[in-house]
Amino acid sequence: MFIDGQWVEAAGGRVFEVTNPANGAVIGTVADGGGDDALSAVEAAFQAFPKWSRTTAYQRSAFLYRAWQLMLERKEDLARTMTEEQGKPLKAARNEVQYGADFLLWYAEEAKRVYGETIPSGRADQRFIVQRQPVGVVAAITPWNYPVSMITRKVAPALAAGCTLILKPAESTPLCAIAMFRIFEEAGFPSGVVNLVTGADPAPIGDVFLTDQRVRKVTFTGSTGVGKMIAEKAAAQMKRVSLELGGHAPFIVFDDADPEHAAKGASLVKFLNTGQACICPNRLFVHESIADTFIGTLRSRVAKMKAGSGFDESVSIGPLVNEAAVAKVERQVEDARAKGAVVECGGDRMMDGGLIGGHFYAPTVLSGVTPDMQIYREETFGPVAPIITFSSEDDVLAMANDTTYGLAAYVYTRDVSRAMRMFEGLDFGIIGINDINPTSAAAPFGGMKESGLGREGGRDGIAEYLETKLGGFSI
């Protein structure tokens, strides 16, 4: 762990093992921190805050810029660590490192654009000045599916704003976090400004983050269940929270779209990270008049996808994170099959050809999916594309919005009026119109409804770490 500028063992001296999800091999041991370690890290961040928050934006920018440079220099090493620890294909891991680095560069620049304002007063002797100040000590909790970019998406804007921070990465991907903290160390951030606490059990560390008065903000990416628990506990001290939670993205293909082009898009975004991305489509709504072409194209593309080790260049499907994830996918597919869905391809756990030691599920296309099936309601977080047919725009909009989630949605249409109606009508925070990658460090990412609170990336991303302070001056 990295606390107050030092690499340290857990206070209790314990360690835990990290495994490769593609074959089960142990690839490292990491400090198994707990509540005492979290307290030390909070103390370090609290002590470092006054000085760091008074550095100039230009000074903070220089540190972030240096970290960005180091990340690009280490791109290949970081990507290899990620493939070994998380399982995604090496090419996707390189893309993620680049995406992660983008946040450091973008917020190195944005640090200098935290503007205030003056407001005219109704009183001749009064002047209003609004200034933005850092919220204070931030605790960040990140998931395993994007183990590098989810770190920089939080660390970069928090540090740019003048906050200090403690990170707790997911227990399955601490090695990526350690590699990132070697970069932060080398970039020269002062002691206590960025701290890392790893642990096999997140609860005691999370408890310290949520109950220690010195932590003023908790930023979290992960499941909706844990997000709700964080929001509830944070309320006791009125801590600020940013929550990026689960999704259940609709992917809507209208009859005026090219079904082959749309199927190609679906095959790319649905199977991204083996379906383990919160913006992966989870319900594919296809107009009944073009469904056969769409399904045929998707099936032929998906059936060719090869699963295996991410170090094999021909592989596009890596393992799922663990056995529980495979079991969840299996349960949803069996339920759909039993209720009448057609398995167009896949539909099974993969154990042949050396995959038995890993957590593999075949890339799967299901047609004939209906609202009574579990997969219609639940987030899958796995490589299954469930297809539902529709006949009218009003119906599909109602079906797409009929979920407690509201993160990403995708629409394929060539009718610009319909595109605008869908953009405005869909209750989701991110809408791709004929576009499968509506994300960037420069753009606000986040969800509505139970997909979360707040936004990461862009101008909104730094605002999450700033307080607004009003000064009324009588002259």
Select which of 244, 393, 450, 464 is catalytic: 244
Which string of b and e fits 370-391 if b means at least 16 CB within 10 Å? eeebebbbbbbbbbbbbbbbbe
Q: CB of 357: closest distance to ligand NAD in angstroms?
A: 21
Which of the ranges 102-110, 140-148, 310-318, 459-467 carries the binding residues for ligand NAD, by CB under 6 A? Answer: 140-148
Contacts to ligand NAD from residues 335-374, by CB under 6 A: none
Cα 278 to Cα 379: distance, rounded to the nearest angstrom? 9
Closest CB to ligand NAD among residues 152, 367: 152
Confirm or reject binding of residue 32 to ligand NAD (CB under 6 A). Answer: no
Closest CB to ligand NAD among residues 254, 381: 381
Confirm or reject binding of residue 131 to ligand NAD (CB under 6 A). Answer: no
Closest CB to ligand NAD among residues 230, 263: 230
Contacts to ligand NAD from residues 418-447, by CB under 6 A: 447
Cα 142 to Cα 168: distance, rounded to the nearest angstrom? 7
Taking only Cα atoms into account, the Rg of the chain, rounded to an integer number of angstroms, comes to 23
Q: CB of 289: closest distance to ligand NAD in angstroms?
A: 32
Residue given tokens 């506990």 in the structure block: 233
How would you classify the pairing of strands 430-433 and 281-287?
unpaired
How would you classify the pairing of strands 349-350 and 342-345?
unpaired
Site for ligand NAD (CB under 6 A): how many residues? 26
Alpha helix segments (H runs only) across 74-222 = 75-86, 90-110, 149-161, 174-187, 202-211
Confirm or reject binding of residue 86 to ligand NAD (CB under 6 A). Answer: no
How many residues are present in the chain?
A: 475
Q: Which residues pair with 421 in a beta bridge?
A: none
Q: CB of 146: closest distance to ligand NAD in angstroms?
A: 6
Confirm or reject binding of residue 141 to ligand NAD (CB under 6 A). Answer: yes
Closest CB to ligand NAD among residues 139, 262: 139
Binding-site member from 47, 53, 223, 440 for ligand NAD (CB under 6 A): 223
Confirm or reject binding of residue 252 to ligand NAD (CB under 6 A). Answer: no
Confirm or reject binding of residue 278 to ligand NAD (CB under 6 A). Answer: yes
Helical (H) or strand (E) element with 283: strand 281-287
Q: CB of 309: closest distance to ligand NAD in angstroms?
A: 22
Confirm or reject binding of residue 407 to ligand NAD (CB under 6 A). Answer: yes
Q: CB of 59: closest distance to ligand NAD in angstroms?
A: 30
Alpha-carbon distances of 470 from 28, 78, 124, 364, rounded to whole Å:
50, 43, 18, 55
Closest CB to ligand NAD among residues 46, 144: 144
> Token digits for 390?
């529709």
Binding-site member from 4, 36, 171, 378 for ligand NAD (CB under 6 A): 171
Alpha-carbon distances of 435 from 176, 262, 363, 408, rounded to whole Å:
30, 9, 22, 12
Instruction: Tell me, yes or no, if 467 is annotated catalytic.
Output: no
> Are 61 and 109 within 8 A, CB to CB?
yes
Binding-site member from 119, 129, 130, 203 for ligand NAD (CB under 6 A): 203
Which of the ranges 85-93, 218-226, 309-317, 461-469 carries the binding residues for ligand NAD, by CB under 6 A? Answer: 218-226
Binding-site member from 136, 174, 222, 461 for ligand NAD (CB under 6 A): 222
Confirm or reject binding of residue 144 to ligand NAD (CB under 6 A). Answer: yes
Confirm or reject binding of residue 221 to ligand NAD (CB under 6 A). Answer: yes
DSSP state for residue 242 in the 8-state scheme: E
Instruction: Tell me, yes or no, if 244 is annotated catalytic.
Output: yes
Q: CB of 445: closest distance to ligand NAD in angstroms?
A: 6
Confirm or reject binding of residue 381 to ligand NAD (CB under 6 A). Answer: yes
Confirm or reject binding of residue 267 to ligand NAD (CB under 6 A). Answer: no
Cα 151 to Cα 117: distance, rounded to the nearest angstrom? 31
Select which of 278, 345, 379, 393 is catalytic: 278
Q: CB of 27: closest distance to ligand NAD in angstroms?
A: 18
Binding-site member from 143, 157, 346, 382 for ligand NAD (CB under 6 A): 143
Cα 228 to Cα 240: distance, rounded to the nearest angstrom? 13
Cα 269 to Cα 275: distance, rounded to the nearest angstrom? 8
Alpha-carbon distances of 199 from 4, 10, 33, 171, 382, rounded to whole Å:
17, 9, 5, 6, 25
3-state secondary structure of 357: coil
Which of the ranges 243-251, 261-269, 306-314, 392-400 carries the binding residues for ligand NAD, by CB under 6 A? Answer: 243-251
Binding-site member from 5, 28, 190, 202 for ligand NAD (CB under 6 A): 202
3-state secondary structure of 82: helix
Q: CB of 61: closest distance to ligand NAD in angstroms?
A: 25
SS (H, E, C) 169-204: CCCCCHHHHHHHHHHHHHHCCCCCCEEECCCCCHHH
Which residues of the chain form contacts with ligand NAD (CB under 6 A)? 141-146, 168, 170-171, 202-203, 206, 221-223, 226, 244-247, 278, 379, 381, 407, 447, 452
Residues identified as active-site: 244, 278
